[in-house]
Structures are given as C-alpha cells and as structure tokens.
Structure 1
Amino acid sequence: MGAPGAFGFVRKAYLKSDPSRTPYVIKHCHRSSIAASRYSSDPELGKVPIEIVVLDKIRKDPQRSAYVAHLVDFFADEKYFYVVMPCLGSADLFDYVEMYLGKGSHRIPEGIVRHIFKQVVEGVAYLHAKGIVHRDIKDENVIVSDNLDVTIVDFGSAAFYGPGVNFTTFCGTLDYASPEVLEGNTYRGPEQDIWALGILFHILLFSENPFRDVAEITSKELRFPYQVSEQAFELLNWMLQRDPGNRPSAEEVVGHEFFNDTVIN
C-alpha cells in the first residue's frame, strides 16, 4: 500500500471472484483535493477528474502504447474517486536507480539507460500524438518491471492540448519544471514534457539532478559530471534548451541517433 498523501494513496487489490488473484492497483483520489479546474464533463463518464477522461481515452485506443498506463475501471463514493489500473511492476525509476547504485556502481551503463529511456520517450510521443500532455514526467512516475519493461503512470496533472491552448499553471514537480514555467510564462505543454524528459535522462545517465534549485534551473550552465557518448551529450543538450522553441518534439527525440544502438550491456 502506498503512503497517504495530499491527493490520495494507492493500494494493491484483486477480484474476489478471480481464483488466480490477478493483481491490480487502485488509486484513491480525494474529492476534496481535486480543484474545480481539474474536472471534465464527459458525455459517457459524467463529471469526473480529467485524469479519468485521459486514461479512458487511452484504454479505448486499439493502438495504445505499451509504455503508458491505462484504465481498467473506475468508481466513486462521497469521499474518493477510485481509479483501477493493472499492476505493472515492482519499482519506480527512483527506486531502480537507488538499487542499481546500491550494488556498488556509481552509474548505470549507457546501454541500460538507452533501453529504459527509449520506452519512456516512445510513451510520451504516443501521448503527444493523441493530444495529451502528462505534465509530471519524473522518475517516480515511471514503473520498471524486473525485465526492464517501462510504464508511465500517474495522470493526475495530465491535460489535453491543441492549437490555441495554453496553460498558465504548473501542476507537476518543481525539480522537473522548465524555465518558462518557473518564470510564470504561459506554455503549450509538450515542451514542458520534453524538458522533464531531459531531467530524467540526466538522472539516468549521472544518477543526479542537473539543477538544485529554481535559480539554477533558469540560469546555470549545464555540466556533465562524467563522460558520455557524443550522441547522449547531444540529445541531453537538445532537450534541456532553455528556449522552449529550440527543444525537439517527442517524435524527434524518438528518432535521435542515440537510440540506434540496441546493445543493453
């Protein structure tokens, strides 16, 4: 069971009628913690949090990405919305990095980083292609299986975007917030996800966040504590451009030559 937080908590569960006890995850979302702006009136689902509408759209897509969580079911009572999803792994990326370093290594081999990060990027590219921005990409929202299969979870900050749509508030995690968001500028959404992917990429490569506070996010020169391949260096610099107009799209990241090598180490 996940620790209770400001917005709810997560529990594992199974159907009593299922003799195999297939595990599921139930996210308990406090009604009182969900802002009015985070609701959507859906013709099929009714008035529900946008998170449920997003997950339902993913569920109904016959070509949905294997790297993105989807809705199994949802229900509600006076206190909570309950979001049921498959149980997909034993650890998040934060835990995975900690466990890997606990084995005595100071960094994760680049081949493993490539294998994990490619799945995350392809998941984000899928979301953007469907008009969805996650807005809280971080290590704790990426689940990793024992086989290094990856799933993006927690769509509590997700939103739909499109032409003419701009956001004015940031709903994610400060360490992954882009400079334009921290400076109070309006933003489209995809560029914020790309910046967050850049932060995540840096953590996977070097086992640390590149910036310690808001001042560093908005002004510090990007430095590399260890040598990495030229392709990794180029991709990381591209994603962490402070001008959002200079960042790649998710599709451009997927097509970057860093991912051409398939060796995992």
Structure 2
Amino acid sequence: VQVNNDNSRTFALKILKKHHIVETRQQEHIMNEKKIMSESRSDFIVRLYRTFKDRKYLYMLLEVCLGGELWTVLRDKGSFDDATTRFYTGCVIEAFAYLHNKGIVYRDLKPENLLLDSQGYVKLVDFGFAKKVGLGRKTWTFCGTPEYVAPEIILNKGHDISADFWSLGILMFELLTGSPPFSGQDPMKTYNIILKGIDAIDFSRKISKNAQNLIKKLCRETPSDRLGFGRGGIREIQKHKWFEGFNWDGLKKRTLKPPITPQVKSATDTSNFDDYPDEEDDPPPDDVTGWDRDF
C-alpha cells in the first residue's frame, strides 16, 4: 500500500480474519504480536506503524521489505557460504539481543520469517509466537515450527530465551546446507529425531569446523549450557571463533556491505516475492465479541 498516490512511500499491509483467529484460538498470540512489534525499535526488526480493525478483519501497517523472504533466496541458491551465513546470522543475533534485553522470547525463527530490505539487510518479522517472559522466567506454551523446536519445548519442561539460541543453531545449519538438521516425514518423527540430539547428526562437508563447533554449542540439550545463555550473554556468540574478524560495528551502523543486494526497481516492486493467488472465498463472518478491543 502507499500514501495517497505517492509511489515513493510504501508499506506492507497484513490482513487477518478475526473469525479465523477466534476459531484457531490465536487471540492472545495476536495481541502479543501487536504489543511487542509496536514497541520494538530495532533496525533488525520490521516496524509496525499502525493497526486498524473493522468487523471482519484486523490490519497491521508494516515497514515494507522488498527484497523478499530469505527462504526464497536460499531455495534459489541451494545453500550459502560461510560469509553469507555469517552476515544473516549476525542480523538475527542483533534482533535477539534487542528482544532478550527486554525479556522477550521470539520462538519462531526460520528463513521464512526473515525478510530482506532493499539494501539486503535481514529483518525479523511475524511475532505471533513472541512473548514477554521477563528475565529469568519461563513459559510453557507449545509453539514454533517443528524443525526448529527446542527439546525442552517438546518435553514441556518450560522454556526461556535459550530456546532462541537453539533455533539460531538450526538456522545456521539450514543456511549452510539448504536443509535443517532435524527433519522427519511428520512433526512427531521430527520431534523424535530432535530428542536424539545434535551429536547424532552427520555434518555436511559444507560446514566448516568452526561453524560446526558453534552450531553444537548453540544446540546443547541442556538449555543453560547453550552459548549465549552464560554470564557473557549474547556476546559469547559474537566472540566465537566462527565470527572472528566480523565487523559487528559496521553491521549495527548498516555500513557493512550485504552479501546479496536484491534487485528492487521501485518502492512498489514486489517481484522478489512468490505470487499467491487472490482469495476467492466469501467474506468471513463478522466478529463483534470485543476480544480485540485493545488492538
């Protein structure tokens, strides 16, 4: 969408069916998403500018990222080299540093939820599973994408920000090889493979020794053993040998050149996204129960 007829100022508009949210009992997740995103101010998190609602839909006016999903780029390239993976992982680490500092656990890391802006920097989007847990506290909701779910979530032991470090290791593995380490034919099979642990996984030759070392340190079975959860915090990850020589300051200031610059011809160019057919369904029924009063 754009402001009046100004083609140079564009936004993304996320439209959600209220009836579907109620049917799938996602009300609390949606309210969490709105609150966390509207309060977030980070170059590595998609901005939520405004929200609107009517009797049928909720609307979220978001910062537009015209480079498309990182998942699409990964699918087209097959896998990334160390330097490319390091850049994208670095962007996620900066987003996590911001969120974890506020006591927020993200819980839905995957390449589909990382959008490239027109410069090629990556931003976190889709905060439906994010939750303010508070520092040193745990939460018990089962959520996330099967291949990325930490063992303590599967075992319903309670989880905290360390679940995000687990998923960071999974992301690194997927970016370097093209597929996640734990994958079964259905979610239950995937969970069983996850519970066998990272040491049961054969690492591809594409993964360097230092990258393998970092992935294994992020994907420790015991949450408190994971790199990033110790006294040094997220800096423990930034100081790991795999990141040696990486320009964190340049990343933060956005002066570091991204490994891939998307082709974006104008502020209305959506060609980096896959085409989805417009929904032909009848409009959803009204929802006036008032659960979204504060949306």
Mapping of 1:101-120 within 5 angstroms?
101=78, 107-120=79-92
The 8 Å contact of residues 74 and 84 in structure 1, kept in 2 or not, is answered as yes
Paired letter, 1:241 = R
Partner of 2:205: 226
Following the alignment from structure 1 to structure 2, what is the Cα–Cα distance between the partners of residues 262 and 251? 13
Aligned mates of 1:152, 1:240 — CA distance in 2:
21
Going from structure 1 to structure 2, the CA distance change for 1:156 and 1:167 (only over 3 Å counts) comes to same
Alpha-carbon offset, residue 230 of structure 1: 2.9
Contact 2:86 2:243 (8 Å CA) reproduced: yes
Q: Are residue 256 (structure 1) and residue 240 (structure 2) matched?
A: yes
CA–CA separation in structure 1 for the residues paired with 2:135 and 2:101 = 13
**Tell me, what secondary structure is at the counterpart of 2:164?**
helix
Residue 67 to residue 182, structure 1, CA distance change in 2 (3 Å): same
Distance in 2, Cα, partners of 1:208 & 1:85: 29
Measure, in 2, the Cα distance between the counterparts of 1:216 and 1:53: 35
1:53 counterpart (35, 41, 56): 35
1:115–1:163 Cα change, 3 Å: closer
CA RMSD, 1 decimal: 2.2
Counterpart code for 2:38: D
Separation in 1 of the partners of 2:149 and 2:155?
10
SS at match of 2:7: coil
Check conservation: 2:108, 2:144, Cα contact below 8 A.
Answer: yes
| Structure ranking higher on relative contact order (CA contacts 8 Å, 6+ apart) | 2
- TM-score, normalising length: structure 1: 0.80
Q: Give the AA of the match of 2:13.
A: I
- Residue 64 of structure 2 is aligned with which of 75, 78, 87? 87
2:271 is aligned to none
Measure, in 2, the Cα distance between the counterparts of 1:87 and 1:252: 32
TM-superposed deviation, 1:182 = 0.7
Query: Is 1:142 paired with 2:114?
Result: yes
Q: 1:103-127 deviations in whole A, cap 9, x for unaligned?
A: xxxx321111111111111111111
Equivalent-residue separation in structure 1 for 2:205 and 2:118 (angstroms): 27
Match of residue 163, structure 2, among 192, 210, 213: 192
Please list the CA deviations of residues 136-190 of structure 1 after superposition, one character each: whole Å capped at 9, or x if unmatched: 11110001245431000001111101146321222221111011111122112x1
Q: Which has the larger radius of gyration?
A: 2
Percent of residue pairs identical: 27
Which of residues 48, 69, 76 is equivalent to 2:53?
76
Secondary structure in structure 2 of the residue aligned to 1:20: strand
Counterpart pick for 2:131 among 152, 155, 159: 159
> Where does the alignment leave 5 or more consecutive residues of structure 1 unmatched?
1-12, 40-47, 59-63, 102-106
Q: 1:36 to 1:93 in 2, by over 3 A?
A: closer
Task: Give the whole-Å Cα distance in 2 for the aligned partners of 1:215 and 1:98.
Answer: 26
Structure 1 range deviating more: 23-32 or 172-181: 23-32
Contact 2:152/2:159 (<8 A) preserved: yes
Q: 1:184 to 1:111 in 2, by over 3 A?
A: same
Select which of 11, 20, 28 maps to 1:38.
Answer: 28
Measured against aligned partners, the alpha-carbon deviations of 1:189-244 in whole angstroms (never above 9, x if no partner) come to x1111111111110011111101111110114132111533321211111111111
Matched, 1:181 2:153: yes
Distance in 1, matches of 2:162 and 2:238, equals 15
Q: Which residues of structure 2 form unaligned runs of 5+?
A: 184-189, 229-233, 248-257, 260-295
Alpha-carbon spacing, 1:72–1:163, altered in 2? closer, same or farther (3 Å): closer
TM-score by length of 2: 0.73
